[in-house]
């Protein structure tokens, strides 16, 4: 995330790993930390957290400068890309922490990771992916026999379960059902 709108050269960079013998505990610690980073930015502006989507709207100046890049083939524009697509906070489930690459900066890129949560200007573009990934995460917990406590959320209309997330997918689920009908 950008510290200030005018200072693109000094973004806030956070790379933190959360471990616990019980993955659901590590997951909760990661989501708590994720939320606390957002709270720090909101508190700077004296804005209370009301919803995930509201926080994105309130902090959009830290997530994007609104500059677009265009993918072209010849003279045709085939896609528009937010030039600041890499700004924001992402939360991943790493299913195998023994397989990774080390970047030039010393960070780790894991081979087997699943994007579970994203705080970014382009969040809405990721809702389908995040929902699918949360469903995959739920199945990973189930297949490995991990206890999830009361963290299960059932979407009976789709016959899908996910683990709790700060995002309320109810409206998105309704839209998906309407599209199918």
Q: Read off the pLDDT of residues 58-105 as tens digits, 9 standing for 90 and up.
A: 888 777 666 777 777 778 877 776 656 667 889 999 998 899 999 887
What crossing angle do the helices spanning 170-180 and 127-143 adopt, rounded to 10°? 100
159 or 130: which carries more pLDDT confidence?
A: 130
**How far is it, in rounded angstroms, from Cα 101 to Cα 111?**
8
Q: Taking residues 27-32, report their average pLDDT.
A: 95
Q: How far apart are CA 16 and CA 149, in angstroms?
A: 24
Q: How many CA atoms lie within 13 A of 97 on its CB side?
A: 8
Comparing 99 with 1, the larger pLDDT belongs to 99
Q: Kindly report the average pLDDT of the chain as a whole number.
A: 84
Cβ distance 155 to 161 under 8 Å? yes
Q: State residue 6's pLDDT score.
A: 61
Q: Has residue 45 got a pLDDT over 70?
A: yes
pLDDT of residue 170: 82
Residues 6+ apart with CB under 8 A from 96: 110, 111, 112
User: Count H helices, E strands: the chain?
Assistant: 5, 8
The Cα 34–Cα 37 span in angstroms is 5
Measured between alpha carbons, how far is 7 from 156 in angstroms, rounded to an integer? 46
81 strand-pairing partners: 69
Residue with more model confidence, 41 or 33: 33
Largest CA distance in the chain: 54
């Amino acid at each position: 995330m950008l510290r200030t709108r005018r200072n693109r050269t000094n973004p806030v960079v956070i790379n933190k790993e959360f471990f616990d013998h019980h993955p659901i505990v590590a997951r909760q610690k990661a989501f708590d930390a994720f939320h606390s980073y957002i709270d720090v930015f909101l508190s700077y502006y004296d804005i209370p957290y009301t919803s995930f989507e509201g926080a994105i709207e309130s902090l959009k100046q830290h997530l994007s400068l609104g500059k677009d890049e265009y993918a072209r083939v010849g003279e045709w524009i085939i896609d528009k890309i937010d030039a600041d697509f890499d700004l924001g906070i992402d939360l991943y489930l790493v299913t195998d922490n023994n397989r990774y690459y080390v970047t030039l900066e010393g960070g780790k890129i894991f081979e087997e990771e699943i994007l579970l949560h994203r705080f970014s200007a382009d969040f809405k573009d990721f809702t389908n992916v995040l929902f699918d990934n949360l469903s995959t995460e739920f199945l990973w917990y189930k297949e490995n026999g991990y206890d999830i406590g009361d963290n299960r959320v059932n979407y009976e209309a789709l016959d899908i379960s996910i683990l709790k997330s700060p995002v309320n997918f109810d409206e998105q689920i309704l839209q998906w059902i309407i599209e199918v009908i």
